[in-house]
Amino acid sequence: MAEYRPSSPSGDAGLSHNAAEPQRPPRFPAFNGLRAIAAMLVLGVHTAFVSGVTTRDGFGVYTARLEIGVSVFFLISGFLLYRPFVSAHLAGVTKPQTGAFWVRRLLRIVPAYWVALFLITTVFHLSTMGPGGWSAYVDHYFFLQIYFWSQWTHGITQAWSLCVEMTFYLFIPLYAMAIGWRREARSANQRLIVELIGLALMIGLSFAWRWYWLGRISPTAQTARLAATFWFPAFLDLFAFGMFLAVLSAWTHQHHSEPTWVTRAWVPWVSWGLAGIFLYSVGHLGISLLPVYTQGFSDITKQSLYGLFALFLLLPAVFGPQNKGFIRGFLRSWPVASLGAISYAIYLWHQAMIQELLQRQHLTLFAIPFWPFFFAVVGLSAAIAAVSYFVVERPALHLKNSLSWWRQRSSIGLINTSADPHDPSA
């Protein structure tokens, strides 16, 4: 990609003269395909359990672990959202605006979620709010339900991950500010070292958090303590894996140092093969097949394997020629990319569609043919998701153009639409 040399480079006053020359950011066209895979994995774990495949079939040890798709979403967020910040830090120039970042995240996540929550709970009654009256509405509409055990099985149950994501959105600009403190006194190599140390600390904090709370869970007092294992600090390692890819991507791009071996045709196959090994391995940890169970220390290993699966799943979409190879072509293909474009609403609506099918078709729980049921849920969810995307999500994102302070141009063009884990233009 051609180097970008602005006529009047802007940056922080007094920055080191050896900062990397800023360049136009690359695009990552395969990420919509990754979103599609993540959404289908999550949809798969729920349909497999409801149909009975997970508990009656030998493949249940694998279908129960299709929740791994949430980890893929977390790594996608870590990579795409942190990359503009780390690019600015390593290049020694002005970072993206914090306020603009937060507004874009709110416009991307909140409208579609609020519409889905209102329709599912209030209009169609496919789910209910938890106990507590108006406080239950506050909890669910403002992404607080994971902090109150009585709300966990109400509202849009899978939205627990959105609560984690919203905390990450608040965290990431503040983290970037802290990691870039006194950067003008550091060389480019020193900035890279600081980035890697920061990620190592995030991973260590995640392990310490989970180890502490898992050690306090008991059969008689587990609810609140188990909930703590689903709070943002527990997933710092997964976000850090995605941020690690962002650091490597930004560094190699700015220094033209991407290894030649990543261009080889066999790299995506080996990478996805390793991802498959990690998925196979996590299926044999002896963890309960039920969606809710008392966690133990083996769940620390489970999450590490989830992170490695997602890491190697993402790798071909980050490095190497994005217009070559079967795997990258599959991720960029129109059907897969289109499914990825509406994956956020699929994630929001698929549980409600499962409930709708159970009620309308009078299906017997745990005795349902899996594949017809799976594709029916996919079809219904995709249809509603398409409406959500064109009627709610895209118009909401266009609101950013009415904010005058949003239009300020990035000093080096480090922000582009691919820095959005749900942006269909990526």
- Note the pLDDT tens digit of each residue in 248-269: 999 999 888 888 888 899 999 9
* Distance from the Cα of residue 100 to its chain's centroid: 20
Domain tally, the chain: 1
Amino acid (one-letter) located at 138 = V
User: Does 384 fall in a domain?
Assistant: yes
User: Does 18 fall in a domain?
Assistant: no
User: Does 419 fall in a domain?
Assistant: no
- What is d(CA 231, CA 161) in angstroms, rounded to the nearest whole number? 9
Give pLDDT, residue 92. 83
User: Does 27 fall in a domain?
Assistant: no
Contacts by 95-98, CB closer than 8 A, 24 or more apart: 95/173, 95/176, 95/177, 95/180, 96/173, 96/410, 96/414, 96/415, 97/405, 97/408, 98/173, 98/174, 98/177
User: Does 263 fall in a domain?
Assistant: yes
User: Does 28 fall in a domain?
Assistant: no
User: Does 12 fall in a domain?
Assistant: no
Give pLDDT, residue 403. 60
Give pLDDT, residue 401. 64
Residue 319: domain span? 33-407
Amino acid (one-letter) located at 105 = R
Amino acid (one-letter) located at 4 = Y
In the chain, which stretches have pLDDT less than 70?
Answer: 1-25, 218-226, 401-426
Residues in Cβ contact with 289 at an 8 Å cutoff, skipping those fewer than 6 apart: 54, 55, 60, 61, 64
Tokens encoding 216? 């306090």
Q: What is the pTM of this model?
A: 0.90
User: Does 412 fall in a domain?
Assistant: no
Q: Which helix (H) or strand (E) holds 214?
A: helix 188-214
- What is d(CA 67, CA 150) in angstroms, rounded to the nearest whole number? 22
